[in-house]
Amino acid sequence: MLSKIFKKRANVEKILVVDDEPGMVMIISKVLKHNGYEVITANDGLEGIAKAENELPALILLDNVMPNMDGQTVLGKLRALKKTKDIPVIMVTGAAGGESIASAQKGGATAYIVKPFDYAVLLEKIAQALKSKCKPR
């Protein structure tokens, strides 16, 4: 595990973490940084959309249950914007219901991870999403 944590990457991918729980943002950010990713954060959906447009991250980790604007709405807005429509979005949320998962998939989420989760699974989903993004269509 330590070799994975301290591995250097030639191309550093930028990941946007959108979550209203500061503790969750801190933990996810720490794991991502230790695995060679650049991390930007947003505390709610509106800030997440703005940062996605301005920063153009390689991937977005998006909470579903947030005040003001839920993740499903944020996902819809990201998919509707020309600059952000192709950015992979992984929903990372405590909403474990089948309806939430189906709605996220229908809305264009790349993957759906239910909290609490194993960080190795999160890193694997991120790697898969970034790899599939790079494949020619």
If you write DSSP's letter for every residue of 31-66 in order, what string do you get?
HHHHTT-EEEEESSHHHHHHHHHHH--SEEEE-SS-
Q: What is the pLDDT of residue 10?
A: 54
Q: What is the pLDDT of residue 46?
A: 96
Q: What is the pLDDT of residue 134?
A: 60
Q: What is the pLDDT of residue 55?
A: 97
SS3 (DSSP) at 5: helix
Domains of the chain: 2-128 (3.40.50.2300)
With contact defined as beta carbons under 8 Å apart, do 85 and 63 qualify? no
Q: What is the pLDDT of residue 101?
A: 73
Q: What is the pLDDT of residue 136?
A: 43
Q: What is the pLDDT of residue 1?
A: 46
The span from the CA of 32 to the CA of 28, in Å, is 6
Q: Which residue ranges in the chain fall short of pLDDT 50? A: 1-3, 5, 9, 135-137
